[in-house]
Amino acid sequence: MPDKPSNIKFHSQIVALLQSARNEVVRSVNRTMVFTYFEIGKMIVEEEQNGKERADYGKEILKGLSFVLKKEFGKGFSVDNLENMRRFYLVYEKSETLSRISSKAISETVSRKSENMILSWSHYLKLMRIDDENERNFYEIESFKNNWSVRELQRQFDSALYTRLVLSRNKEKVKELSEKGLILEKPKDAIKDPYILEFIGLPEHSEYSESELEQEIIDKLEHFLLELGNGFTFVARQKRISFDDKHFRIDLVFYNRFLKCFVLIDLKIGEIKHQDLGQMQMYVNYYDREIKLNEENKTIGIVLCRDKSQSVVEYTLPENNEQIFASKYKTVLPTKEELKSLIAERKSQR
């Protein structure tokens, strides 16, 4: 029976209430699971420490505990899973969010801030495997801030997001990444080099045109926005600008709500040329003078290229440049060797 107009609002309110309640139940179950596993890990470690004179005592604890818990609660308490709980406690025992949690806290109200900062157990299983504490903290903060799924967390880690951001930051900014995550204050904060576009499915050394690359990005726009980072929204593709009977088209136009500015992107499938940077400067100047509002910040231009000469970029752009950037893109995930090479290359340029 269809809704009467007078009942639509009433029915929508009930649906919204039930959806909210369902989401809260899921969050509550997740919080309780994470808190419980943290406490189990703590108890295992403390029991191990009581019997530390025997080297194999820890293994016996896990085997015995697994036998009892599987009999009582089912297969979710294998020796491997218990080892994960133990490791969870050891990794996060100094965490401000988790270290204060006790058995008593599981059955009582935990501070609202702590509740909201908790990720899923599946997230923590991924995070625990990141050895570097600063890097682990960064991915934990970004997962929470951006509501990353476990799959997206894995993708961002595989694409070496933290490493790529570290390469363009000084020591103070690197420390900030591990304490606050990615904070956008200046145009440079939003820039990555390289950008990883493995989601478009184009092999690294295949032949394709700039229009084909653009189409693949548009087809996977949600993934591209995630790669761009916080606060980006899509505005236009092939944006036409005209003056003096001349017409030009900007490949992609975005807006960043944190930086409060337009972001123009041009795609180049080969090595960047000084003409490419000059053209982007023209686009940026046009947007600053004709499009942006007085209360908005200056436009950012990014030329995405397959390869670049750092010297060409530096000598083409002014020394105080804060608007035009040239970044490489890769269509496959970088290997560890490539990352090491990139790090060495950046250090030599400083």
Residue 70 domain-assigned (yes or no): yes
What are φ and ψ of residue 217, in 5° steps? -65, -45
Residues 258 and 179 reside in one and the same domain: no
- 348 domain residue, yes or no: no
Residue 48 counted as domain residue: yes
Q: In the prediction, which pLDDT does 344 show?
A: 67
Task: Establish if 207 belongs to a structural domain.
Answer: yes
Beta bridge partners of 240: 249
What are the pLDDT digits (tens) for 278-301? 999 999 999 999 999 999 999 999
If asked whether residues 198 and 284 sit together in one domain, one would say yes
Instruction: Give per-residue pLDDT as tens, 23-51.
Output: 778 778 888 889 899 999 999 988 887 75
Task: For residue 109, give its domain range.
Answer: 8-118
Looking at the structure, tell me whether residues 241 and 301 fall in a common domain.
yes
| Integer Cα distance of 346 and 89 in angstroms | 36
Residue 275, domain CATH = 3.40.1350.10
pTM, to two decimals? 0.78
**What b/e string do you get for 315-342 counting C-beta neighbours within 10 Å, with b at 16 or more?**
ebbeeeeebbbbbbbebeebeeeeeeeb
SS3 assignment, position 32: helix
CA distance 102 to 40: 10
Answer yes or no: do 152 and 66 share one domain.
no
Residues 173 and 262 in one domain: no
Residues 12 and 70 in one domain: yes
Predicted confidence band of residue 346 (pLDDT cuts 50, 70, 90): low
Q: Are residues 222 and 137 in the same domain?
A: no
Domain boundary (118, 148, 168) is at: 118
CA distance 202 to 124: 32
Report how many domains make up the chain.
3
Give the confidence band of 147 by pLDDT, cuts at 50, 70, 90: confident
Across-strand partners of 300? 263
- The answer to whether the beta carbons of residues 237 and 214 sit under 8 Å apart is yes
pLDDT tens digits, one per residue of 62-72? 889 999 998 88
Residue 174: how many other CB atoms lie within 10 Å: 16
The answer to whether position 321 is within a domain reads yes
Domain annotation covers residue 255: yes
Question: Are 56 and 161 within one domain?
Answer: no
Mapped to the 3 state alphabet, what secondary structure does 202-221 carry? CCCCCCCCHHHHHHHHHHCH
**Residue 51: per-residue pLDDT:** 59
**Predicted confidence (pLDDT) at residue 341 exceeds the cutoff of 80:** no
| Residue with the larger pLDDT of the pair 17 and 114 | 17
My answer on whether 63 and 126 are in the same domain is: no
Q: According to DSSP H, which parts of 56-149 are helical? A: 57-73, 79-92, 103-106, 112-117, 121-127, 133-146
Residues paired with residue 330 on neighbouring β-strands, in sequence order: 196
Q: Which residues contact 240 (CB under 8 A, 6 or more apart)?
A: 247, 248, 249
Whether residue 289 sits in one domain with residue 228:
yes
